[in-house]
Amino acid sequence: MLVLYKGDMMMGSTIIVGGFFGDEGKGKIVAHLALKDKPSIIARGGVGPNAGHTVEKGKQKHGVRMIPSGFIYKDARLLIGAGVLIDPHVLEREINELGVKGRIGIDPRCIIIEEKHILEDRQNKRLADKIGTTGTGCGPANKDRVMRCARQAKDVEELSAYITDVPLEINEALDAGQTVIIEGTQGFGISLFYGTYPYVTSKDTTASQIAADIGIGPTRVDDVIIVFKAFPTRVGAGPFPTEMSSEDVKRLGIAEYGTVTGRRRRIGKWDGPMAKYSAMINGATQVALTGLDKLDPSCYGITDYDDLSDTVKEFVRNAEQDVRVPITILSTGPKISQTIDLRG
């Protein structure tokens, strides 16, 4: 039986992470939580502009690579943690396009992606061809960070207006009893530590890393929401045990393309053991399940649990049995409104 979670609305800090190989729909889930829970801060951890979070509201569709997806909630401060790599060009473009200049704060210790990092990412055959990186310079910039020869945000004049002590802002907000949403990027399967090395991104992607990225200690994390999609996807090379044939994907009509690279995403069937293991290492307290409309198109856009088809209800029940963590948010389409929130 599905445990219909009747907890309180979100308070304190909640980290949102990806449980499969990235692109689980974290952007949509964060945007939904931001509008519903009205946090004072939405902070971004994770690798950097290799991520592409999609946020769709009404007719508007945004693909954000640097700005927290919760920008859609206009009263929240938008912070980028020290662990995140910044591409100043991508950041500036998004700030202008989204009109969020007055709300952005970036940590002085963020590492800067420079042109040479992007070139190396695209020209190095191992990275470009074998691993199939996003070509956004993240791996080479993280390499320079470890070599201790990278530039930091505090050294870049154009960023001076945004510089703030991100951990201090977040910890003070938590001391004052405010709500803080912390957004991770990528997914468990491409974590540098726990993923399918060497076919992984250049950093760990689990909740503990995301907390470190934005500067809160483990004892300050109240909730971890892990996002899974009904049909996991993977972009780039690497093992994918439940991958489907392209004929099956075509027959089901569930093809997907990358937000950053436009590459076709490989698509697989639900992977229960991976979901369970990933929830364990992430310390997940809740699960958000996306793409239920792909499982049964008749469920597209449904916002009431009782209206879901038996097929989808059974899938949700089985998924909860697999993961052994309460499923609290169900997504039935890409738009923020196409959500069933069971948190009470």
Annotated catalytic residue 117 = no
Minimum CB distance to ligand GTP, residue 176 (Å): 29
Strands (E), the chain: 13-18, 41-44, 53-57, 60-64, 77-80, 85-86, 104-106, 111-112, 180-183, 223-229, 233-234, 266-267, 286-290, 327-331, 339-341
Three-class SS of residue 222?
coil
* Other C-beta atoms lying within 10 Å of the C-beta of residue 301: 13
Where in 209-268 is the site for ligand GTP (CB under 6 A)?
A: 259
Check residue 202 for interaction with ligand IMP (CB under 6 A).
yes
Q: Report the partner that residue 190 touches, choosing among Mg ion, ligand IMP, ligand GTP, none (CB closer than 5 to 8 A by kind).
A: ligand IMP
145 binds ligand GTP (CB under 6 A): no
Copy the structure tokens of residue 307.
């209206």
Judged by CB under 6 A, the number of residues near ligand GTP is 25
* CA separation for the pair 165, 105 (Å, rounded): 8
Q: Of ligand IMP, Mg ion, ligand GTP, none, which one sits near residue 81, judging by CB under 5 to 8 A according to partner kind?
A: none
Among Mg ion, ligand GTP, ligand IMP, none, partner that 56 touches (CB below 5 to 8 angstroms by kind): ligand GTP
Identify what 13 binds: ligand GTP, ligand IMP, Mg ion, none; CB under 5 to 8 Å per kind. Answer: none
**Considering the rule CB under 6 A, would residue 131 count as an interface residue with ligand IMP?**
yes
The answer to whether 164 and 173 are in contact (CB under 8 A) is: no
Q: Is 82 exposed, middle or buried (0-12, 13-18, 19+ CB in 10 A)?
A: buried
Among 45, 139, 184, 333, binds ligand IMP (CB under 6 A): 139
Candidates 52-60, 164-172, 174-182, 238-246; binding stretch for ligand GTP (CB under 6 A): 52-60
142 binds ligand IMP (CB under 6 A): no
Find the shortest distance in angstroms from Cβ 285 to Mg ion: 23
From CA 51, how far away is CA 337, in angstroms rounded? 23
Least Å distance, CB 22 to ligand IMP, is 3
DSSP 107-118: -TTPEEP-HHHH
- Residue of 19, 137, 291, 326 that binds ligand GTP (CB under 6 A): 291
Task: Measure CA of the first residue to CA of the last residue in the chain; give whole Å.
Answer: 17
Per CB under 6 A, does 51 bind ligand IMP? yes
Q: Judged by CB under 6 A, which of 20, 28, 32, 204 binds ligand GTP?
A: 28
| Whole-Å CA distances, 60 to 3, 114, 234, 325, 335 | 34, 31, 26, 33, 9
Contact with ligand GTP (CB under 6 A): which of 10, 13, 25, 103? Answer: 25
Q: Is 191 in the site for ligand IMP (CB under 6 A)?
A: no
Burial of 273 (0-12, 13-18, 19+ CB in 10 A): exposed
Query: Residues touching ligand IMP: how many (CB under 6 A)?
Result: 21
Tell which positions 169-198 bind Mg ion, by CB under 5 A: none
- Identify the residue among 13, 15, 19, 23 touching ligand GTP (CB under 6 A): 23
- C-alpha separations of 341 from 111, 304, 317 in Å: 36, 9, 16
Residue 23: active-site member? yes
CA atoms within 13 A on the CB side of 132: 17
Which residues are the active-site residues? 23, 53
Give residues in contact with Mg ion (CB under 5 A). Answer: 23, 52, 259
